Amino acid sequence: MAVLELRDVHTYYGHIHAIKGISFKVEQREIVALIGANGAGKSTTLRTISGLIRARHGQVLLNGEDITRLPPHEIVSRGVGHVPEGRRIFPQLTVWENLEMGAYTVKDRQEVAQRMEFAFAIFPRLKERLHQKGGTLSGGEQQMLAIARALMMRPRILLMDEPSMGLAPILVEGIFEVIQQLNAQGTTILLVEQNARMALEVAHRGYVLETGRIVLEGTAEELRGNPQVQAAYLGMH
């Protein structure tokens, strides 16, 4: 059974039909990339899965359970972690407090401490910045914190929205290495990314979104070799 499945999902912003009947699956331990131009509907898709926007038609299934109508906090507690575009950490809270917010559903303090250690094993720099306010961290460190915060709830699936945005190239490589590391440790990932080249290097499969519709799908290798994808997203003609 797929960890995540979307069936004929339609999402609207007011009268604007943003997602027009998309269907796709993410299997256990996969990295699946959603690529497409700005405004294609990538972030809207993630927000629909998280319940931040309600799908008007269709279904979102998590391990076979219909979560389409659940409020966001219940979707989180069922194991959907979301690293939003633009990081959205709590700037006035310390690194420690931001991470604690990620584990707000966990009542066992020892379990919270263990999860923190797991996060620090992946992002040692966060341990050095433990009592620093989130807003004073560099862009790369804030992205690390946003990912670590989502990991604090041990998600069944991690939704990552533009993790490389606004980062220096050397930091982008580091973030993609972390994505692969998390996946190797068993985390299933749905990755939305403008950097299609990097996304298709780490993903197993991918879907191409254009104006709210899936126009192409395939293995990452197939998409990398597709002339349309090369011309539109990989800068090759």
Structural contact between residues 33 and 207, judged by C-beta atoms closer than 8 angstroms: yes
Q: Going by C-beta distance under 8 Å and a sequence separation of 6 or more, which residues neighbour residue 140?
A: 167, 168, 171, 174, 175
What is the rounded average pLDDT of the residues 209-236? 92
- Report the mean per-residue pLDDT for the chain: 91
The reported pTM is: 0.92
pLDDT confidence of residue 236: 64
Question: What residue spans define the domains of the chain?
Answer: 1-79+157-175+188-237, 88-155
Query: Is residue 237 predicted with pLDDT exceeding 60?
Result: no
Return the CATH class of domain 1-79+157-175+188-237. alpha beta
What is the rounded average pLDDT of the residues 141-157? 90
Query: Is residue 195 predicted with pLDDT exceeding 60?
Result: yes
pLDDT confidence of residue 29: 96
Tell me the C-alpha distance between 232 and 63, whole Å: 34
Query: Is residue 154 predicted with pLDDT exceeding 60?
Result: yes
Tell me the C-alpha distance between 133 and 58, whole Å: 41
Tell me the C-alpha distance between 237 and 230, whole Å: 7
Query: Is residue 206 predicted with pLDDT exceeding 60?
Result: yes
